[in-house]
């Protein structure tokens, strides 16, 4: 059976399985990317609340999944993409824009192999492939922009990448 046929078309909700570290909610995300020609493109998605900018897929890391499983799930739920998750870019502590909570965010690169036509949050999110400068311009979170810088540095230092 193909992986895309096994994907739940319903996004997880609720926080009863949510992981915390020293009181900080743990979230996991990916920077979906592809090399088109010789140019790096990244996939950004709209925030759930209209007018709140763009970001990379991310969400809660739950106790019944590994960190990589959480990253893969969030990429499918929010952006509708599948691919190869590569080594973690880093961990950031950041304050929620909506309340006074602090979060621990983990980010991974995701080399996109497949873009789904239908995904759980298709009706509430827009997605767009953009250049790195455009992503840095539209991304609402400074910690995600830092993760993007790390991805670019990693790809530029990899001999097999054509950047």
Q: Total structural domains in the chain?
A: 1
Residue 139: DSSP 8-state = B
Q: What is the CATH classification number for the domain harbouring 42? A: 3.90.79.10
* Single pTM value for the model: 0.85
Question: Is 9 a domain residue?
Answer: no
pLDDT tens profile 59-115: 999 999 999 999 999 999 999 999 999 999 999 998 877 677 888 999 999 999 999
Give the structural domain span for 36. 17-157
Would you place residue 32 in the very low, low, confident or very high pLDDT band (cuts 50, 70, 90)?
very high
Is a pLDDT exceeding 60 seen at residue 12? no
Question: Is 7 a domain residue?
Answer: no
Question: Is 52 a domain residue?
Answer: yes
Cα angle, residue 41 at apex, residues 145 and 140 outer, rounded to 5°: 30
Would you place residue 6 in the very low, low, confident or very high pLDDT band (cuts 50, 70, 90)?
very low
Question: Is 10 a domain residue?
Answer: no
Question: Is 44 a domain residue?
Answer: yes
Question: Is 6 a domain residue?
Answer: no
Question: Is 2 a domain residue?
Answer: no
| List of E strands, the chain | 20-21, 24-36, 39-46, 54-55, 58-60, 81-85, 90-95, 102-115, 127-131
Phi/psi for 157 (5° steps) reads: -90, -5
Question: Is 1 a domain residue?
Answer: no
């Amino acid at each position: 059976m193909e992986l895309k046929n096994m994907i739940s078309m319903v996004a997880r909700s609720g926080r009863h399985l949510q992981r915390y570290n020293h009181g900080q909610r743990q979230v996991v995300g990916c920077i979906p990317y592809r090399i088109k020609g010789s140019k790096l493109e990244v996939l950004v998605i709209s925030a759930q609340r209209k007018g709140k900018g763009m970001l990379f897929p991310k969400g809660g890391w739950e106790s019944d999944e590994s960190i990589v499983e959480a990253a893969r799930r969030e990429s499918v739920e929010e952006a509708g993409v599948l691919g190869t998750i590569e080594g973690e870019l880093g961990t950031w502590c950041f304050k929620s824009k909506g309340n006074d909570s602090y979060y621990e965010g983990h980010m991974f690169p995701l080399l996109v192999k497949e873009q789904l036509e239908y995904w759980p949050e298709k009706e509430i999110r827009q997605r767009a492939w953009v250049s790195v400068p455009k992503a840095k311009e539209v991304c609402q979170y400074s910690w995600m922009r830092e993760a993007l810088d790390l991805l670019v540095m990693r790809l530029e230092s990899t001999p097999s990448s054509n950047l």
